[in-house]
Amino acid sequence: MTIDLLTQPVGVSHYLVVGAVLFVSGAVAMATKRNAIGVLMGIELVLNGANLNFVAFGSSYLRGGSQGGVGLDGQLIAMFVIVLAAAEAAVALAIALNFYNNHATVDVDQGDELKG
């Protein structure tokens, strides 16, 4: 299967692999980083991994163009996600600053106020 990908011309599957790698890296970063900024970076990676999938599926060029496309839906959703990611980053950074204010560190393990 891997060999197939290497030998074939670049298509949707390649993008999916890259997207999956990005997603998993992001998820792992979120799960393992104790630094809040690192967690945020992980989130960005996850979002962009998903974005890559949207773009790949929405591209008529990659899908060979002949089978008819799904229009610009994929691209549009990717744009939305980018905007959302920007907004989310702003909020998240504000939270991180606040966190730092309260704990004098950005180590997420130091905070467990949300414990039920």
Q: Is 32 in the site for another protein (CB under 8 A)?
A: yes
Tell me the number of residues near another protein by CB under 8 A.
16
Q: Is 91 in the site for another protein (CB under 8 A)?
A: no
Contact letters (x/-) for another protein, 12-31, by CB under 8 A? ---------------x--xx
| Shortest Å distance, C-beta 44 to another protein | 14
Output the 3-class SS for the chain. CHHHHHHCCCCHHHHHHHHHHHHHHHHHHHHHCCEHHHHHHHHHHHHHHHHHHHHHHHCCCCCCCCCCCCCCHHHHHHHHHHHHHHHHHHHHHHHHHHHHHHHCCCEHHHCCCCCC
